Amino acid sequence: MKVHVHGVSYEYEVIGSGEPLLVLHGFTGSMETWRSFVPAWSEQFQVILVDLIGHGKTDSPKEVQHYHIETVAAHLIAVLDHLQIEKAHLLGYSMGGRLALTLACLYPKRISSLLLENCTAGLVTEEERKERRQKDELLANKIEHEGVAAFVEKWENIPLFATQKKLPLHVQASVREERLANHPRGLANSLRGMGTGAQPSWWNELEHLQMPVLLMSGEYDEKFFHILTTMKKQIPHAEFVQIIGSGHAIHVEQPQKFDTIVMGFLQNIKGGRNT
């Protein structure tokens, strides 16, 4: 289904009934990231799948301002308004996790709980952000000039995804297919507008988050282990879980463990309300 918000057409699906659960994929992904989880999750929740701007079947506009992470957060609030949803549980992975955290910081009353898979609250100093923006701009230019296929060939071989090389070939092929389905301009502008260097630092806002928060890190993702354990110390109602046998993409590398942890966390929240 399509919904037009703030001049951008978003592709989305709503499956199941119950408390709303909005799920946000990572960079180069799409709503298909979560497809295998939907049958189980939709038995207990109203699952809202969305292709983020520049990804999947959602628009990839030329103007970078549409991709700014705070703007995209406003787009998603407009999607919830369109669906007449006042509050939703919010799950995000990597770039989608940073976007989910942005939503929680800017619109805390709209978020029932926050589940973050391997993401950061941002870079602390402007010098760090500037350096990252320069790197992302170079990468964005390469995507536009060389195309998605050449980019994906390099992207899937970066150290962050090394552990995925051990996955069955059909799983690797599925991830690659999802990445290849994206538009070069959409990916390039997503780096420019929603890259780690482009987003604000939310570190000083973490102590104000009052909703239940789940932080998930993979055993082999040392960078994000340190980031998320630091975030846990600053968030009042946060749980941290390290998933054994996984790298950056826990939902791909350990899907059964991921499913169990996510549903267990959400069921505990529901159970707490009912007692």
pLDDT in tens, 169-216: 999 999 999 999 999 999 999 999 999 999 999 999 999 999 999 999
Q: Is 19 helix (H, G, I), strand (E, B) or coil?
A: strand
Q: Which pLDDT belongs to residue 110?
A: 98
Confidence band of 274 (pLDDT split at 50, 70, 90): low
At residue 18's C-alpha, the angle toward residues 9 and 35, to 5°, is: 55
Global pTM value = 0.97
Number of neighbours of residue 44 by Cβ within 10 angstroms:
16
Average pLDDT over residues 248-265: 97
pLDDT in tens, 64-74: 999 999 999 99
Q: CA of 275: how far to CAs of 126, 265, 269, 270, in Å?
A: 46, 16, 10, 9
Q: Which pLDDT belongs to residue 275?
A: 46
pLDDT in tens, 3-60: 999 999 999 999 999 999 999 999 999 999 999 999 999 999 999 999 999 999 999 9
More confident position, 241 or 274: 241
Burial 183-199 (b: 16+ CB within 10 A, else e): bbbbbbbbbbbbbbbbb
Number of neighbours of residue 156 by Cβ within 10 angstroms:
17
- DSSP code, position 84: T
User: From start to end of the chain, where are the E strands?
Assistant: 2-5, 8-15, 19-24, 45-50, 88-93, 111-117, 213-218, 238-243
Average pLDDT over residues 264-271: 90
pLDDT in tens, 107-142: 999 999 999 999 999 999 999 999 999 999 999 999
Q: Which pLDDT belongs to residue 105?
A: 98
Task: Locate the domains of the chain by residue range.
Answer: 2-274
Q: Which pLDDT belongs to residue 271?
A: 75
Closest Cα partner for 228 from 151, 89, 117, 127? Answer: 117
CATH 3.40.50.970 fits 2-274, yes or no: no
Q: With beta carbons less than 8 A apart as the criterion, state whether 243 and 117 touch.
A: no
